[in-house]
Structure 1
Amino acid sequence: MRIFMIWIFLPFLISEPPITWGFYAHSLINRLAVFSLPEEMIGFYKPQIQYITENAVNPDRRRYAVEGEAEKHYIDLDYYGDSALQTLPKYWNEAVEKFTEDSLRMNGIGPWSAYFSFLNLTKAFESKNSAAILRLSADLGHYIADLNVPLHTTVNYNGQLTDQVGIHGFWESRVPELQAKDYPLWVGQAEYVEKPQLALWEAVAVAHAQVDSVLFIEKELTKNFSPDQKFSYEERNKLTVRVYSREFTEAYAQALDGQIERQMKKSVKMIADFWFTAWVNAGQPDLFDLNGAKVDEEDFVVKPELKVRDH
């Protein structure tokens, strides 16, 4: 547990990467999405909100235990060149035919994988498999939220190419941890998504367009802070740990002009919309007789041989 907590708050002090969006942010995003569901769905989801919330980070834990999981969390668009969004096939079979599956997996399969999770959730609704509905809802929420993080769309995912190592966890963990409590994240009622695959790619495009500002603003701001001003020490889980200072974090968030709040809000909205769309596509099954569902906890056995990066 100590190692896990350090991963969340100290991405720049350890060799292993942080939990994406941070435990706090992923959990909050999944939790808030539940309240946008219609009456026919919230009666099933709300009693299970603790599961949806607490298991929001299971896909990240799975990265260290299951081969093939890590690449589901990102896509390195810039690997494919400046026109990646125009040249990359949006449909999996076409992409495999053009680039091969091994090549695609090497550079991240986030949007394609999220769509497969959406299809699996639809099937779970069709069969009224309550355990699968809950597990896949939590997973899909995680994958969609990841696609809304700018640094999940670039080769320079942790600032390692621009001398900004640690920015990944800073943007998606430290800032939300200090500021998300003040974000107005209510997004209204869930809406039907006509073209889910294209909606996922649109989210990736919006996130990727913000990569430059995420990196540039942090680098410029650093010029105005000495190292002892940029970082500070806090007590975490009975450990004294080095973190980005509150002053630097607040200055960065202000300079981003609400960017992180907007991306969190977009994540909440998309997740609710995709859950709702999966239910509608499954024929709007009655979920009220599924109350009381129990889901077996996943057993995560870390495999040290797996190569896992900061996504």
Structure 2
Amino acid sequence: MQRLAHLLLAVLVLVLLSSWGGTGHYIISLEASRSFNTEMQQFADWANYLAGHASDADNRKSSDPTEAPKHYIDIDNYTEFLTNQPMPLSLSEAVSKYGNSFVVDNGILPWATKVTYDSLVIALRNGRIDRAKLLAADLGHYVADGHMPLHLTKNYNGQLTGNTGIHSRYESTMINAHADEFYNSQPREIVLVQNVQQYIFDYIYFNYQYVDSILEADNYARSINPDYSSSAYRDTLWVKTKGFTKRLFAAASQRLAELIYSAWVEAGRPSVTSTAEVNLDRATMYVYPNPTNGQVNVTYSNSGGENYYLEIFDMLGNTLKRYSLNSISSSSGHLTENLNFPSGAYLFRLSNNNISITQRVIVQKND
């Protein structure tokens, strides 16, 4: 089937089809807190958690065969989209009309986003704050996927138009190189979402317009220099796409805030803080870019007064490097590390006697 290419590609390059890559997902989820309104003050402590778990959904792809279709929709394979008609609002309606194989093969992103939203409402209503935070992090991932135009089209990698490879060049290589320019976005006012499923389809329909813009930018950048690894190509691609790409990031952050707010209101505005949750979130860590060709940045925070360590392991459990973070900072900090390791997977762990946070990092050397 058509989407077999997706699956094979995912095996060869773990995060190629991970919308916005780990860096982009982290930024979108972190920046969502800038749009939290005055009613959401108790959600402020969620910001680092949402960012640190923004790629959990991608990480499940290797172990959960049902996860991958949740991250995209080839919406231009649907008659309704091509004729500017409303899409089936429920997954059951879509399956009834098109059949299960067609729907799953073309991705279920909008419906998976709604299911995650509904699950968040239930968790909040039942006071399961730990589960609510996990679901909110997943919701942030799927919302971000819906703002990555190449996750909304059958031409997801430019393979139909002679732009093969644009997916990774745009969402990972370019974003990683300009990550600093996406932070500190302007806060946006949020409103209560009345029809969540329609709201999700509305932003997917709107964001699809940028598919052609990305392909045109790729064509122009190649005309400047056909060497994709050249600074001339990369810089030109950025210049041609940065305007709408920044808007997509900002819109994704705003809509995540809007959906969390709406889920909380629908759940009855419950308290979202507890002693247990505060203790769990005393430390955060993020390693980026991921994958990397060797150089990585590590940002971390902790409560201070405890002996935290950062350790790097290979997949056999051998300790390759170890740092005492308290000797660097008592609360938060940033490290830049050059990994002189062979290509492969490695584990970064931030821990003390009570807390352990682990992130898997892929090293891809340019041979």
Report if TM-score (shorter chain) is over 0.5: yes
1:7-22 equivalences under 5 Å are: 15-18=13-16, 19-22=18-21
Is residue 130–residue 293 contact of structure 1 (8 Å, CA) maintained in 2?
no
Give TM-score scaled by structure 2 length: 0.68
Is residue 41–residue 287 contact of structure 1 (8 Å, CA) maintained in 2?
no
- Aligned residue in 1 for 2:265: 280
Residue 272 of structure 1: CA displacement?
Answer: 0.4
Listed as ranges, the gaps of 5+ residues in structure 2 are 1-8, 282-354, 361-367
Bigger mean CA deviation after superposition, 138-147 or 212-221: 212-221
- Aligned residue in 1 for 2:75: 77
Are 2:239 and 1:254 aligned?
Answer: yes
1:1-311 equivalences under 5 Å are: 15-18=13-16, 19-43=18-42, 45-81=43-79, 83=82, 85-86=84-85, 88-183=87-182, 185-227=185-227, 230-231=228-229, 245-256=230-241, 258-289=243-274, 291-292=277-278, 294=280
Richer in helix (by share): 1
In 2, Cα distance between the equivalents of 1:97 and 1:293?
46
Alignment length, in residue pairs? 274
Deviation track 1:23-52 (CA, whole Å, cap 9, x = no partner) reads 111001101112322344342x33343321
In 1, Cα distance between the equivalents of 2:237 and 2:154?
22
Residue 298 of structure 1: CA displacement?
Answer: 11
* 1:270 alignment partner AA: R
Cα 1:132–1:16 change in 2 (3 A) is closer
Deviation track 1:220-276 (CA, whole Å, cap 9, x = no partner) reads 32022142xx31xxxxxxxxxxxxx44322211222350110110110010000000
Cα 1:297–1:141 change in 2 (3 A) is farther
* 1:194 alignment partner AA: Q
Is residue 29–residue 268 contact of structure 1 (8 Å, CA) maintained in 2?
yes
Residue 168 of structure 1: CA displacement?
Answer: 0.9
Is residue 221–residue 234 contact of structure 2 (8 Å, CA) maintained in 1?
no
Bigger mean CA deviation after superposition, 76-85 or 269-278: 76-85
Is residue 77–residue 84 contact of structure 1 (8 Å, CA) maintained in 2?
no
Is residue 187–residue 268 contact of structure 1 (8 Å, CA) maintained in 2?
no
Residue 297 of structure 1: CA displacement?
Answer: 8.9
Deviation track 1:99-158 (CA, whole Å, cap 9, x = no partner) reads 122321111011111011101001111011011111000000000010111101111111
Cα 1:17–1:257 change in 2 (3 A) is closer
Cα 1:113–1:166 change in 2 (3 A) is same
In 1, Cα distance between the equivalents of 2:257 and 2:112?
18
Give TM-score scaled by structure 1 length: 0.80
SS of 1:223's partner is: helix
Instruction: Give the share of equivalent positions with the same residue, in percent.
Output: 28
Residue 182 of structure 1: CA displacement?
Answer: 2.4
- Aligned residue in 2 for 1:238: none
* 1:137 alignment partner AA: A
SS of 1:292's partner is: helix
In 2, Cα distance between the equivalents of 1:17 and 1:162?
22
Deviation track 1:55-97 (CA, whole Å, cap 9, x = no partner) reads 1001111112101110001100122246265263122222121
Cα 1:17–1:179 change in 2 (3 A) is closer
Bigger mean CA deviation after superposition, 161-170 or 118-127: 161-170
Of structures 1 and 2, the larger Rg is shown by 2
Residue 217 of structure 1: CA displacement?
Answer: 2.0
SS of 1:284's partner is: coil
* 1:185 alignment partner AA: S
Residue 16 of structure 1: CA displacement?
Answer: 4.6
SS of 1:156's partner is: coil
Residue 299 of structure 1: CA displacement?
Answer: 10
In 2, Cα distance between the equivalents of 1:299 and 1:66?
19
Cα 1:298–1:67 change in 2 (3 A) is farther
* 2:28 alignment partner AA: I
* 2:215 alignment partner AA: L
Could you say what the CA RMSD is over the residues aligned between the two structures, in angstroms? Answer: 2.7
Bigger mean CA deviation after superposition, 68-77 or 169-178: 169-178
SS of 2:224's partner is: coil
Is residue 28–residue 253 contact of structure 2 (8 Å, CA) maintained in 1?
yes
Cα 1:142–1:85 change in 2 (3 A) is farther
In 1, Cα distance between the equivalents of 2:260 and 2:174?
27
